[in-house]
Amino acid sequence: MDATLRDLLDTLGLIPTDKLQPLSGGDIAAVYALTTRQGQVVIKHDDSARLLGEAEGLRALKGAGTSLVIPEVLGETMGWLVIESLDTQPANTQSSVALGEGLRELHGVIGDAHGWHQDNACGRTPQPNSPLADGRAFQRERRLLPLTQACYQQGLLNGALCRRVEHQAEQLETWLPDSPASLIHGDLWSGNVLTTTRGPALIDPAVYRHYPDVDLAMLTLFGSPGAPFFDAYWNGDKPTDWPRREALFQLYPLLNHLLLFGSEYRSAVERCVAVLEAVES
């Protein structure tokens, strides 16, 4: 076992009784389960700054005081993060409803500006969070334009598609109302939602404050949490322009996937842009 990790475990009073056991799902960081005399914990190994951002995000989500289960951060140091292990079980309708209700509670925690007090990361991608008062400006200046340019510079977007994305970013004020800055998970794809014996849980956040649609659009990017979730979340107040919002707020994670994983995501970026263009026309 790595000496730095062993020292951290000693500091936390955790005595290992087995070797690190790799867990699936760690596309960016290495993730392990570790059995100790004090119980099982989850351990992540990654860039120190990214792990510090994740630890802070978990603390912020837990501090929001919602009904969602957030694993406790036990300790972190020099590229290692130790968190509480959660007992999982299969999802069902009841857990989907509880997820919708809990996420609505989370998004009801409102801040003064869109962004966060420090930058963090979404996957391996640095995520600039310098606050802006207007959510549309934040989405444009901190999310869409930086990633569009990064993908263009890497040859992952051609000039025409780059300009189409930039055009949509410049048009936000023409249709998207400004919104209070909700506390959001920030990377809420289905793999970061667990169903536990205590209720739905969120892991691996990239926390900041922005439109709640960020989390909803991410949940539908690679599937759907289902009608019971949305019924519980919207509680009869579904936005009339949800398809347009969904396409907009899927652009950022798709551009990030394009940057991280390559050209197979370019067609999905183009599909979102086409949806926005069709509504615009």
Q: Cβ contacts of residue 34 below 8 Å, gap of 6+?
A: 14, 16, 18, 20, 21, 40, 41, 42, 43
- Are both 72 and 106 inside the same structural domain? no
- Specify the pLDDT at position 69: 98
Q: How many domains is the chain built from? A: 2
- Are both 150 and 273 inside the same structural domain? yes
Res. 29: pLDDT tops 90: no
Res. 26: pLDDT tops 80: no
- Are both 161 and 25 inside the same structural domain? no
Mean pLDDT of 204-214: 97
- Are both 105 and 42 inside the same structural domain? no
Which CATH number fits the domain that encloses residue 44?
Answer: 3.30.200.20
254: helix, coil or strand?
A: helix
- Are both 178 and 69 inside the same structural domain? no
- Are both 126 and 196 inside the same structural domain? yes
Q: Last residue of some domain: 62, 84, 106? A: 84
Contact 215, 188 (CB under 8 A): yes
Q: What pTM was estimated for this model as a whole?
A: 0.95
- Are both 104 and 77 inside the same structural domain? no
Distance of alpha carbon 238 from alpha carbon 97, whole angstroms: 15
Res. 25: pLDDT tops 70: no
Q: Last residue of some domain: 63, 84, 105? A: 84
170: helix, coil or strand?
A: helix
Residue 198 to residues 50, 67, 98, 201, 253, Cα–Cα distance (Å): 28, 10, 11, 8, 29
- Are both 62 and 110 inside the same structural domain? no
For residue 160, how far is the Cα from the chain centroid? 29
- Are both 104 and 64 inside the same structural domain? no
Distance of alpha carbon 162 from alpha carbon 53, whole angstroms: 30
Which CATH number fits the domain that encloses residue 275?
Answer: 3.90.1200.10
Mean pLDDT of 181-193: 96
Q: CA torsion 208→211→212→216, rounded to 10°?
A: -100
230: helix, coil or strand?
A: helix
Q: Last residue of some domain: 61, 84, 107? A: 84
The single-letter code of the amino acid at 27 is D
- Are both 28 and 123 inside the same structural domain? no
- Are both 60 and 155 inside the same structural domain? no
Element (H, E) at 120: strand 120-122
Q: For Cα atoms 257, 258, 264, give the angle at the middle one, nearest 5 degrees.
A: 105
pLDDT band at 24 (very low <50, low <70, confident <90, very high): confident
Residues designated catalytic: 187
Q: Which of 103, 131, 106, 107 is nearest to 117 (CA)?
A: 131
Mean pLDDT of 84-108: 96
- Are both 120 and 138 inside the same structural domain? yes
Domain around 45: 3-84
Res. 137: pLDDT tops 70: yes
Neighbouring C-beta atoms of residue 33, cutoff 10 Å: 14
Q: What percent of the chain has pLDDT over 70?
A: 99
pLDDT band at 278 (very low <50, low <70, confident <90, very high): very high
